[in-house]
Amino acid sequence: MEVLADFFAQYGDLLLQEAWNTILMTVISTFFAYVIGLPLGVALVVTSPKGLRPHRVVNAILGWIVNIGRSFPFIILLVVIIPFTRLLVGTSLGVAGAIVPLTVSAAPFVGRMVEQSLSEVDAGLIEAAQSFGASTWQIVWKVYLREGVSSLIRGVSIAYITIFGYAAMAGAVGAGGLGDLAIRYGYQRYIGSVMVAAVVICIIWVQLFQSIGDYAARKIDKRR
């Protein structure tokens, strides 16, 4: 116990600060990734061959954008868009500098997950809404999004955890957070206890967020 007390007295504030930085950049990046990815996923579903407004060219272009974005390694993207990041937020370092590449990397992934979630909605419900004369927007809002909300929440959990992993990777190039802490103290200074503590915090937070997401999805799921 005395060893733990000494450890937290020396590194506790630092661990809390970097854990907060990681959570902050992850939450903000997830939000903006959904601001971009949600309409992108909806557009993919609506313009698909069996969608409400089939359009082969638009669907193909959106599909290419998503596939290219998903295939780009994050660590490379992080470096490539540094000028764009500086243009938007004025820096490529710290929490602000990490949010832009995290969002750009995650948005195509989110778009594909949204597409998959909405594709699971019962086609009979969509046909019923069409027979009542519902507009495309009404079907998207009242059928696709409402009926697919449980799957969408599960998608949020997966997307958040994926971005959380990216955020730790971003620490390798000065973004701060637990990844940066683990590298600077655990690897460069050979303080293994700090690296272990950072990993434990990551595991606990991911497990907690996943559990909350699963619980919320089960409570909302109308099929249960």
User: In which element (H, E) is residue 157 found?
Assistant: helix 149-170
pTM above 0.85, yes or no: yes
CATH number at residue 74: 1.10.3720.10
Per-residue model confidence (pLDDT) at position 106: 93
pLDDT grade for 224, boundaries at 50, 70 and 90: low
> For the residues 123-144, what does the mean pLDDT come to?
86
Q: How far apart are the C-alpha atoms of 154 and 36, rounded to whole Å?
A: 18
Q: How far apart are the C-alpha atoms of 125 and 197, rounded to whole Å?
A: 49
Structural domain span for residue 30: 2-220
101 or 224: which carries more pLDDT confidence? 101
pLDDT grade for 216, boundaries at 50, 70 and 90: confident
pLDDT grade for 1, boundaries at 50, 70 and 90: low
Q: How does the average pLDDT of the chain come out, rounded?
A: 86
Q: Say how many domains are in the chain.
A: 1
For residue 56, give every residue at least 6 positions away whose Cβ sits within 8 Å of its Cβ, in sequence order, or none. Answer: 49
Q: Give the Å distances, CA to CA, from 133 to 12, 119, 129, 138, 205.
A: 60, 21, 7, 10, 46
